[in-house]
């Protein structure tokens, strides 16, 4: 049976026949779920491990535990009143919260953009912050960092750029340096407003290929312009900020022509050479907690691509298949692979795909596509696939 990489399928799926006159349109916001309105369940508590696993497209890149608040949330996580302060949403019904701290404790928000940034283009970045009145101080240097690769660490302190340098055969050294966010609030303008939302924003020219955005304070407390304010209640151990309404827009890309599609424009994805009954496609970027079936939000972009295929092919039926590597018992891996496949199906149903179009099955470690003797090979074997059952 022929196996395809989903990235190829997506590229073909997005191809269209260009017809009609060219026109221009405003550049879209490149941020998925920019005001945190899409979520899997209402927030119920302030969790030491964070709650971003329930917010579509967003996740925390460090062990610092970002929080989620929504009108539908519990008393701890409600809007406007919650355990960590009081604030209406800037847009919609939900927002996130992170410590940017007067100490070196840090929390961050991270997301993958809808498309990589283009080299030489100028982008406008904007998001809104509001300081919790329960904080014990305020800071200035909250910003947004754009990187080609996903970054992260297991620390709860400032997120550092750790570069491993090979000094000699078998000898290496880790050099840690502070990240330089492309957009950062002015050092002299302390973000101390607890009543209204304050916009943090700016423009920068992309190097090209930046796909991930991380929001937070990338500077140590000594360089963050930490101030104490009489208006604060000092119930929290640091500077806690609500975050909402995130935007990344290309300023020059709006001038590029966009082909207008006539009503009879057909997608290349409708070509039966691409999707045939029995064809199998590998979902390359589906991530789970270690030894668990909980979908991580790093999977969001790949799941959005699969949703796009199903929505553009409303009669397509698929089977989701889960696979593990060769470690562990047969029974354990069988259960884990089934649960992981089911987690993908549950996500698709939550997003409006009819259950009758979806099946799932676990194969455990019975169908490896690579060696199980190396970590790279095991990573290839830990995968989720979808097979076209009907068109």
Q: For the chain, which residues make up each domain, given as ranges?
A: 3-14+261-390, 52-253
pLDDT at position 266 is 29
Query: CA 247, 248, 249, 252: dihedral to nearest 10 degrees?
Result: 150
Q: Do domains 3-14+261-390 and 52-253 have the same CATH topology?
A: no
pLDDT tens digit string along 16-64? Answer: 333 344 445 668 999 999 999 999 889 999 877 766 778 999 999 999 9
Helix or strand or coil: residue 112? strand
Query: What is 52-253's CATH number?
Result: 2.60.120.260
pLDDT at position 53 is 78
CB 283 within 8 A of CB 304: no
228/75 Cα distance (integer angstroms): 28
If one compares 205 and 380, the residue with the highest pLDDT of the two is 205
Is the pLDDT at 344 greater than 50? The verdict is yes
Is the pLDDT at 251 greater than 70? The verdict is yes
Q: Which residue matches tokens 């779920």? A: 33
Helix or strand or coil: residue 57? coil
Pairing of strands 94-99, 142-147: unpaired
Q: End-to-end CA distance of the chain, in Å? A: 17
Task: Choose the CATH number for 3-14+261-390 among 3.30.300.160, 3.30.1330.60, 3.40.50.970, 3.40.50.2300.
Answer: 3.30.1330.60
CB 123 within 8 A of CB 203: yes
Is the pLDDT at 174 greater than 60? The verdict is yes
42/80 Cα distance (integer angstroms): 14
CA-closest candidate to residue 147, choices 184, 107, 117: 117
At residue 244, what are phi and psi to the nearest 5 degrees?
-155, 160
């Amino acid at each position: 049976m022929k196996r395809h990489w989903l990235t190829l399928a997506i590229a073909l799926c997005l191809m269209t026949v260009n017809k009609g006159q060219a026109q221009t349109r405003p550049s879209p916001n490149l941020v998925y779920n920019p005001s945190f309105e899409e979520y899997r369940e209402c927030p119920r508590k302030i969790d030491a491990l964070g709650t971003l696993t329930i917010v579509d497209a967003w996740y925390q890149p460090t062990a610092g535990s970002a929080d989620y608040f929504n009108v539908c949330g519990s008393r701890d996580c409600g809007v406007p009143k919650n355990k960590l302060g009081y604030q209406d949403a800037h847009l919609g019904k939900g927002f996130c919260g992170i410590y940017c701290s007067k100490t070196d404790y840090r929390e961050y928000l991270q997301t993958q953009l809808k498309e990589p940034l283009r080299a030489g283009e100028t982008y406008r970045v904007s998001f809104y912050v509001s300081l919790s009145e329960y904080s014990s101080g305020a800071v200035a240097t909250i910003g947004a960092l754009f990187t080609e690769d996903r970054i992260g660490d297991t620390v709860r302190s400032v997120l550092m750029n750790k570069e491993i340098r090979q000094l000699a055969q078998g000898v290496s050294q880790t050099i840690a340096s502070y990240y330089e966010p492309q957009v950062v609030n002015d050092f002299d303008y302390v973000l101390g407003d607890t009543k209204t939302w304050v916009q943090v924003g700016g423009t920068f020219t992309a190097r090209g290929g930046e796909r991930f955005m991380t929001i937070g304070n990338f500077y140590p407390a000594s360089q963050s312009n930490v101030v104490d304010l009489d208006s604060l209640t000092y119930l929290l151990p640091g500077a806690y900020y609500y975050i909402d309404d995130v935007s990344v827009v290309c300023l020059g890309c709006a001038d590029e022509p966009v082909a207008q599609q006539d009503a009879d424009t057909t997608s290349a994805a409708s070509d039966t050479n691409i999707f045939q009954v029995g064809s199998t496609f590998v979902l390359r970027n589906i991530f789970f907690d270690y030894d668990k079936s909980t979908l991580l939000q790093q999977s969001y972009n790949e799941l959005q691509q699969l949703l796009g295929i199903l929505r553009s092919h409303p009669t397509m039926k698929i089977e989701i298949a889960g696979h593990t590597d060769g470690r562990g018992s047969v029974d354990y891996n069988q259960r884990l692979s089934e649960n992981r496949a089911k987690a993908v199906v549950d996500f698709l149903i939550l997003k409006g795909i009819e259950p009758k179009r979806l099946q799932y099955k676990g194969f455990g470690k019975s169908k490896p596509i690579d060696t199980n003797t190396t970590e790279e090979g095991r990573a290839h074997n830990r995968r989720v696939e979808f097979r076209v059952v009907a068109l």
